[in-house]
Amino acid sequence: AAKQSGRNQYTFFSMQMNQALQQRIDILQGVRTSLEQGHFHLEYQPVVDLSNGNIRGAEALLRWQHPERGPISPALFIPIIEESDLIEPVTRWVARQATADLLTLQALQPGFVVSINISGAALHQGSTRDFLTELKHSRQLPDHCLSIELTETSMIRHLDDCRQTLTQWKAAGMNIWIDDFGTGYSSLSYLHQLPIDGIKIDRSFIRELRTDNETSLAATMITMAHSMSLQVVAEGIETEHQRRCLVDLGAGLGQGFGLHRPMRFAALEQLLEAAPVPTPAP
């Protein structure tokens, strides 16, 4: 009987393994096909000035509308394609679309900033950086209107070449932000060594803002960021209470469902047309 159940267990696990493997294969094949057939689009989530709600820019978020399965979350398929050659063409697709949209947004609101997420794998490929730099030139986009968002883990894994890589991205006129800040690496000392513009505090720390905000981790991160002259975006703001706390703590910028949900480009255009914002004084 033991032998029997053992074999069943083995069959069960190998079935699970096969399923995971099959899912990866399906995703990789599906992404390849969808790139050709145009099943991707971007949504934009506004980044606002927390003190007055003015929109300063937006984060481009990739959306995959699978022809049979419907929408598939980037949190599911990005980690899979990150380990394959596909991360490069996907990143290029995002870059092409986001820079084209940014041209239109710049005309509506000079100084508007669009940020795109760059995986660790793509960050260190000179080809990805060259491609984005070339796009920026050919579309005649000014410096500092294009940001890249990087996660701590993607940088730590390559800390040795990181400083040099980031310096090259900076030299190309791009802003650099650390995404999901606080979730990846406990020591903050490495920030000193890197040419970054700001941190995006992960939404897990914003969710905790309820009562004792002065001693919250978010407060510590904001204080630290300011002491290093870094800008701060608070991610995942869902309530007015959180927004007010963050204004008190001096966070500056924020993003979240409570402010604006990610939206189609046309909706963002409409939003900016309805409430154009003057560029802040330098």
256 binds, among ligand C2E, Mg ion, none (CB under 5 to 8 A by kind): ligand C2E
Site for ligand C2E in 261-280 (CB under 6 A): 262
Contact track, ligand C2E, 20-59, x by CB under 6 A: -------------------------x--------------
Strand partners, 64: 40, 72
Site for ligand C2E in 139-178 (CB under 6 A): 149
Could you say which of 179, 221, 225, 233 contacts Mg ion (CB under 5 A)? 179
Q: Helix, strand or coil for residue 85?
A: coil
Minimum CB separation of residue 9 from ligand C2E in Å reads: 34
Q: Which is nearer to ligand C2E, 90 or 222 (CB)?
A: 90
Backbone φ and ψ for 70, nearest 5 degrees, come out as: 80, -165
73 binds, among ligand C2E, Mg ion, none (CB under 5 to 8 A by kind): ligand C2E
Could you say which of 57, 236, 252, 254 contacts ligand C2E (CB under 6 A)? 236
Number of residues that bind Mg ion (CB under 5 A): 5
- Asked if residue 254 binds ligand C2E (CB under 6 A), the reply is no
Q: Are 144 and 118 in contact (CB under 8 A)?
A: no
Measured between alpha carbons, how far is 61 from 36 in angstroms, rounded to an integer?
19
Of the candidates 241, 244, 200, the residue with the CA atom closest to the CA atom of residue 222: 200
Q: Are 132 and 146 in contact (CB under 8 A)?
A: yes
Residue showing tokens 């491609």: 131
Label residue 258 exposed, middle or buried (CB < 10 Å: 0-12, 13-18, 19+): middle
Number of residues that bind ligand C2E (CB under 6 A): 23
